[in-house]
Amino acid sequence: MVRHDIESQRERARLNRMEIIDAKLSRREMMKYGLLTAGGALVAKSGLSIRAASAGGAVTSPATTPFIEPMRVLTPHSGSRLQDDLDHCTATVSDDPKEAARAAHQLWKGNEPQVVYNFTQKPRLYRPHPKLAEQNIWTFRDFNKDTESPLTMIHARYGEPSMVYSHNELPANHKGYGNPMVTTHLHNAHNASESDGNPTDYFGPGSYKTFHYPNMYAGGDEREALGFLWFHDHCMDYTSQNVYRGLVGTYLLFDRYDSGNEEDTDSKAIRLPSGKYDVPLVIENKVYDKNGVAYFDLFNLDGIIGDKFLVNGNVQPYFEVDRRRYRFRLLNTGPSRFYQFKFSNGMKFWQVSNDGNLLPFPIERDSVSMSVAERMDIVVDFSGVTDNIVYLVNVLEHKDGTGPTGKILSTGVGDKILQFRLGAKVTDNSRVLTKTTELRRLPDINMSEVKKERNWTFNRRNGAWVVNGELFNRNVVNARCQKNTAEIWNITNASGGWSHPIHMHYEEFQILSRNGVPIKDGDPEKSRKDVIWLHPNETVKIFVRFRDFTGKYPLHCHNVVHEDHAMMARYDVVDDASS
Amino acid sequence: MDMRRRQFLVSSAVIVGGVLLGTTMADLIAPAEGESFDGSPDGRFPNIVLHGHDGGAYRFYDDLIRDKIVLINMFFTGCGDICPLSTQHLVQAQEMLGDRVGRDIFMYSITLNPELDTEPVIRDYAETYGVGPGWLFLRASRDDTELLRRALGFVDPDPALDADLETHIGVVKFGNDAIGRWGACPSFADAEEIVAGVRTLDPIKRT
Ligand SMILES: [Cu+2]
């Protein structure tokens, strides 16, 4: 095509864009453009949504009075230890026609389940705020909607393998966004491929699949202990929609050191705040339509940025706390928003984990930043706070799917997400943290184990996502990593102005450097991670080991809207040599 | 059908990895009318008029989308490498979907350059690539094309990239209007991936 033609097209496109966005279109023009129905309703309004430059979002949620409902607390799902139930678990698929196909569970012998859980995924009615509609959300289990969070939780222990029967009871004839095909992923777990909830291993309504969680340290190394993991559905092409529907839960993993008992008499126990003082705060970002029903823009290819913030399933709740120490486990479920959290009174706190894995030592912070799917454990001490009300505030401006603008808002202007109502001073036997409290040492990085260095470059081509120039194909293995070796991966963002939370399944890794600058001791990223906040034009170098299991795993963007548009690659852990 | 029988039949259609066990595609029908589209409001498609390479005129929603399973991509005949690659992969996908294309699945390629891509040009283009029945190459007025492009999400937040036609040709949307289910994948993806995407649009239900 000739050059001047492109130029004139650009100019025309620009004019059109301005016309539609700024759009004081007359009623006649609206009819002409097909924007109005005969009845006068605005039909294509959402078509001219946030994606049209910085218009701020065409779908705006109804007003919701903040902090009028108590925060729902996640309660641990109860499992069965009955011998009958345990005997029923098998490594191979049973002859029950309802059981979905899978490979036999690896490392079964010696890791036979000691607890059995049942998930029943189906729509359940819930009202996320009094001003919003009671609506069907998809959850993993029944819950008491007056007292419990709709999000499920499992408390697990190292050395105590478990089995989850994940039943798909979603309606086969479901209409609207979401796909009733599911594959239950336990994010960050050191699980075999067949129990990983791989995006392409979805199973349909009326069937179930078993997931074996051996709760074993990677490579038998207790320094590899994971602490705060989360469940979410991972159905290929529909992860963002199914997660938005509500298929989210948390998984807390304890061991002798992080024992979940602040009064533990074991001298090795870290004694972080426990019981009702160990509280997951699951932060979801949504937008609701005029009827108060969660709205998902199916024609947004960039990322969904909502105007409502939910904590544990409710929009902007309040939480009555005692004046003592708490362990808060922060999780950002996305779909696309990044955060920087602070407290409204500016108080400092201890960051004790990164991606839910304990740090070597606590780090004193006054804010933490989180891209999608990241987890941070923080210990907050309310005992010396004089205010009776404190807010958790997001101060990071984020307007569209490209990523945060980088602008930090003042706590007065930021998004108040959760209100703490401070009560009485009470006994607190949890450990007083200092900069030298030993939490969990990092595993050594031994370069002699490295058998391969790979580059993963995330790019955008003609509006589609590519990894190393290739498109995702579930049957194409992009990397074969030999079991019991380590690799160096250079993860590069070459996609222009976009930020991406890049996640690899299975093994957590350690970041060596960002753009060549080494991560130093005492940096919160001197830690074991599974998500990288990848800034525009950045290269992050990581060290990762492959241990215990073989099989396929994905590496993908956790802006789940990007992920659903195939921003994903496949790596396999193999017994043979790497390739 | 009473509830009990329906549930029995639903639960007997087990799907693993996108492959149906114990049922076939022919057993699948669209779901019953009258169920609401939770959180997916109606009426987001501008009902503009498009002209096909077959000489027909079509209302976008009424004639092309309503109650159909569709694949939609944007292209222009003058584009460099990607449109030819996409078109070839979509031709393969069409072959793999067999006689469902034209029956319950329809494919639409909409030109971003309606001034140059006149009816004879897009007809030649379709013939060159050997596209089968059930797949229309379409053109609309410049304004309507812009409106449709935005409504379908073929946009880029960077104004310079958004103005570049080549930005919008790399994605194919697939959807089933009857159940309000939509997804997307790269248009130049391997045909098997495109087909895997389309297969997720079948309601999992038997008569
Ligand atoms: Cu991304």
Q: How many CB atoms lie within 10 A of CB A150?
A: 25
Give the pLDDT of residue B36: 46
Cross-chain CB nearest to B14 (options A46, A206, A302):
A206
Q: Say if A300 is an interface residue toward chain B (CB within 8 Å).
A: yes
Q: Which residues of A touch B10 (CB under 8 A)?
A: 172-173, 205-206
Cis bond upstream, residue A335 (ω within 30):
yes
Cross-chain CB nearest to A35 (options B41, B46, B205):
B46
Q: Which of B105, B179, B17 shows the shortest CA–CA distance to A172?
A: B179
Residue B25, pLDDT > 80, answer no
How would residue B43 be classed by pLDDT, with cut points 50, 70 and 90?
Answer: low
Give the pLDDT of residue B203: 74
The whole-angstrom distance between B107's CA and the closest CA on chain A is 17
Q: Please give the model's pTM, rounded to 2 decimal places.
A: 0.87
Task: Classify the complex by whether its ipTM is higher than 0.85, answering yes or no.
Answer: no
The whole-angstrom distance between B65's CA and the closest CA on chain A is 14
Q: Which of A236, A243, A210 shows the shortest CA–CA distance to A94?
A: A210
Residue A219 to residues A188, A216, A311, A340, A355, Cα–Cα distance (Å): 15, 8, 35, 34, 19
Beta bridge partners of A186: A231
Cross-chain CB nearest to A298 (options B10, B40, B147):
B40
CA angle centred on A558, ends B194 and A351, rounded to 5°? 170
DSSP-derived 3-state class of residue A277: helix
Enumerate domains of chain A plus CATH numbers.
2-56 (no CATH), 76-95+104-254 (2.60.40.420), 447-574 (2.60.40.420)
Q: Mind listing the pLDDT tens digit for each residue in B65-121?
A: 988 999 999 999 988 888 889 999 999 999 999 999 999 999 999 999 999 999 999
Residue A182 to residues A34, A466, A559, B146, Cα–Cα distance (Å): 37, 25, 19, 36
Give the pLDDT of residue B40: 54
Protein fold of B3-200: Glutaredoxin (3.40.30)
Q: Say if A236 is an interface residue toward chain B (CB within 8 Å).
A: yes
Q: Mind listing the pLDDT tens digit for each residue in A460-479?
A: 999 999 999 999 999 999 99
Which DSSP state fits A305?
Answer: -
Q: Do A299 and B44 touch (CB under 8 A)?
A: yes
Q: Which residues of B touch A168 (CB under 8 A)?
A: none
Give the pLDDT of residue A65: 97
- What is d(CA A394, CA A404) in angstroms, rounded to the nearest whole number? 12
CA angle centred on A412, ends A406 and A415, rounded to 5°? 60
Residues B48/A34, Cβ–Cβ less than 8 Å: yes
Which of A46, A60, A298, A475 should we substitute to test contact with B (largest number of B Cβ atoms within 10 Å)? Answer: A298
Q: Which residues of chain A have pLDDT under 50?
A: 1-57
Q: Say if A40 is an interface residue toward chain B (CB within 8 Å).
A: no
A458 alpha carbon – ligand 1 mean position (Å):
8
Mean pLDDT, chain A, whole residue set: 90
The kind and range of the H/E element at A65 are none
Q: Which residues of B touch A472 (CB under 8 A)?
A: 189, 193
Q: Which of A502, A556, A512, A508 shows the shortest CA–CA distance to A530?
A: A508
The whole-angstrom distance between B11's CA and the closest CA on chain A is 4
Q: Which residues of B touch A299 (CB under 8 A)?
A: 44, 151-153, 173, 182
Q: Which residues of A touch B153 (CB under 8 A)?
A: 51, 297, 299-301
Q: Which residues of B touch A33 (CB under 8 A)?
A: 46, 48, 143-144, 147
The whole-angstrom distance between B130's CA and the closest CA on chain A is 24
Which DSSP state fits B165?
Answer: G
Q: Which residues of B touch A16 (CB under 8 A)?
A: 142-143, 146
Give the pLDDT of residue A58: 65
- Each domain of chain B, given as residue ranges in start order, spans 3-200
Q: Which residues of B are annotated as a binding site for Cu cation?
A: 79, 83
DSSP-derived 3-state class of residue B151: helix
Which of A10, A126, A299, A305 should we substitute to test contact with B (largest number of B Cβ atoms within 10 Å)? Answer: A299
Cross-chain CB nearest to B184 (options A33, A100, A565):
A565
Q: Say if A44 is an interface residue toward chain B (CB within 8 Å).
A: yes
Nearest chain A residue to B192 by CA distance is A473
Q: Which residues of B touch A172 (CB under 8 A)?
A: 10, 13, 203-205
Q: Where are any strands of DSSP class E within chain B?
A: 14-16, 19-21, 49-52, 57-59, 69-75, 105-111, 135-139, 171-176, 181-186
DSSP-derived 3-state class of residue A432: coil
Q: Do B167 and A97 touch (CB under 8 A)?
A: no
Nearest chain B residue to A206 by CA distance is B11
Mean pLDDT, chain B, whole residue set: 80
Nearest chain B residue to A198 by CA distance is B17
Q: Do A465 and B113 touch (CB under 8 A)?
A: no
How would residue B11 be classed by pLDDT, with cut points 50, 70 and 90?
Answer: very low
Nearest chain A residue to B36 by CA distance is A175
